[in-house]
């Protein structure tokens, strides 16, 4: 497996404001249940991703380094 940056969504904290999907529609969407969902891949050179993750009003987003794969995870 390859190590890469990815975004995790804590679906228990997410209030579905849609701020992430508005700022980065190629990376996030709001699913039918009203929660944020990652739909794209993180470009490691894109500072905007880190900014959007840091600006999440409920701190439901986290930028992590790890193996590629499913990027949306429930709270641990």
User: Tens of pLDDT along 8-42?
Assistant: 999 999 999 999 999 999 999 999 999 999 999 99
Residue 54 maps to a domain: yes
- Residue 37 within a domain: yes
Whether 55 is covered by a domain: the verdict is yes
CATH code assigned at 57: 3.30.70.20
Domain annotation covers residue 74: no
- Domain containing 40: what range? 3-67
For the chain, give the percent of residues with pLDDT over 90: 68
Residue 50 lies in a domain: yes
> How many whole angstroms separate alpha carbon 12 and alpha carbon 24?
21
Domains contained in the chain, number: 1
Q: Give the CA dihedral 49, 10, 34, 71, nearest 10 degrees.
A: 60
| Average pLDDT estimate for 58-72 | 76
């Amino acid at each position: 497996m390859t190590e890469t940056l990815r975004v995790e969504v804590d679906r228990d904290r997410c209030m579905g404001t849609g701020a992430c999907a508005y700022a980065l529609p190629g990376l996030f969407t709001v699913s039918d249940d009203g929660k944020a969902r990652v739909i794209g891949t993180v470009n490691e050179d894109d500072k905007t991703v880190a900014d959007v993750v840091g600006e999440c009003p409920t701190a439901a987003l986290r930028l992590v380094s790890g193996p590629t794969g499913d990027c949306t995870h429930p709270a641990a």
